A and B are shown apart, each in its own frame.
Chain A
Amino acid sequence: MTTTTKPAPPSGGGMNALNNLLVGVGKSVGGIVGTLYQAGRDTIDTVIRNILPFMAFIAVLIGIINESGLGDKLAHLVEPLAGNLIGLLAISVFCAIPILSPVLGPGAVIAQVVGVILGTRIAEGDIPPQYALPALFAIDPQVGCDFIPVGLALGEAEAETVEVGVPAVLISRLVTGPLSVVLAYFASFGLYSSSSS
């Protein structure tokens, strides 16, 4: 959408004014429609390239986990961890360990899979729903830990900054990971509490 500055129209004629009006309206409407259309195109592109493939992946995983009986075994494994604050803190500390966090990070695949597994357990009633909010933070202290050098490079950081920045972020996560779980725990008071016993 480019707006070109037009020379002042030569004097005379309502015809010219009308023309200008029509051109102006046409351009702005065309701009709005064009933008919406382009936005729609981007959206469909995103859905096909990013969202649907992940849904297929999740569907296969959930189908196998739920139908094979693996889900119940996982539930026994996850229940004591995800159903209380101490367990969630343990998960977050584990995910924030500086050596593990870059390994667990890529594409947030681990966080998404664990999120889906916890979600199915919440739906089954194994984990009380008010733990949903702290759980969201407990499974995610490693977010972006795999991407620090690239992310800093996108911010045009110098090599020295990257050298310092990678360990700085990883160490910071060890503190802020569990801290975020505690914050979320206190923020979840009154969230779905009526449904809990």
Chain B
Amino acid sequence: MPLTVMASGLAHAADPTVEPPGGVFGALADAASWFIGLFQAGGDVFLGLVTGIIPTLIVLLTFVNALIRWIGPERIDKLGEYAARPGLQWYPVRYLVLPVLAVFFLTNPMAYTMGRFLPERYKPAFYDSAVSFVHPITGIFPHANPGELFVYLGIAAGITGLGLNTSDLAVRYLIVGMVVILLRGILTEIITARMLARRTATTEGAAA
């Protein structure tokens, strides 16, 4: 390797004469390397995200998208009619089964259109329930909300960084999310009913 020998010789010869840059130019050079370093680090992060997440994501999204097309999202319309029924046993249908299926098949934001099957007094609670599920579902089914993956992915990246498996986190996120949307739906329905009652009382009072 004569070239390297020559280069190293050159470097060796040049060593004593070139001092690390000082003064104004030194400061400028330091600033420049610091500045570009920020974006090199960002580039590494970007590369990690693209190679680490995108390939699996593309295959998974393609499969689920095809699955949804085969099943036909219009089939859950019938479920909406069941969910509209009053009575305690329909609460889990209205605020658990319907939002979960709506978010899975129709995805964010079209999932909220399922509210049209419900009476007016249930609509805010259903929206609350469905919208609260668009992040817990992304841990396992990222197709439902691909624009907002990083709520889960951001924190999951930390778990991966520790060398731990994220599946456990994803499953628990999904399950706790289901419990939360049920509770949220029930509570919002109660609050909505109170507010509607108060509103009709005041309008009647004004009319009288």
Contact = CB atoms under 8 A, between A and B. Distances in A.
Interface string A126-153: 0101001101110110011001101110
Interface string B24-49: 00000000001001111111111001
A119 B157 contact: yes
A83 to B, nearest CB: 13
Contacts of A180: 176, 180, 183-184
Nearest to B145: A108
Interface in A58-98: 58-64, 66-68
A39 B183 contact: no
A192 B54 contact: no
Given A46-B146, A63-B41, A118 B183 contact: no
B38 A44 contact: no
Nearest to B198: A164
B11 interface: no
B54 A47 contact: yes
B58 A107 contact: no
Residue of A35, A46, A160, A168 with most partner-chain B CB within 10 A: A168
**Interface majority SS (helix, strand, loop, mixed), chain A:** helix
Interface in B120-174: 120-121, 123-128, 130-132, 134-136, 143, 146-162, 164, 168-169, 172-173
Contacts of B156: 119, 132
Given A59-B43, A154-B112, A51 B62 contact: no
Contacts of B45: 58-59, 62-63, 66
A78 to B, nearest CB: 12
B158 A51 contact: no
Contact of A176 (B34, B109, B157, B180): B180
Interface of A: 35-36, 38-40, 42-44, 46-47, 50-52, 54-56, 58-64, 66-68, 107-108, 111-125, 127, 129, 132-133, 135-137, 139-140, 143-144, 147-148, 150-152, 154-158, 160-161, 164-169, 171-173, 175-176, 179-180, 183-184, 187-188, 191-192, 195
19 contacts: A35-B66, A40-B62, A62-B41, A62-B42, A62-B45, A63-B42, A66-B41, A111-B151, A112-B148, A115-B151, A129-B162, A136-B152, A136-B173, A143-B131, A151-B130, A168-B192, A172-B191, A176-B180, A180-B176
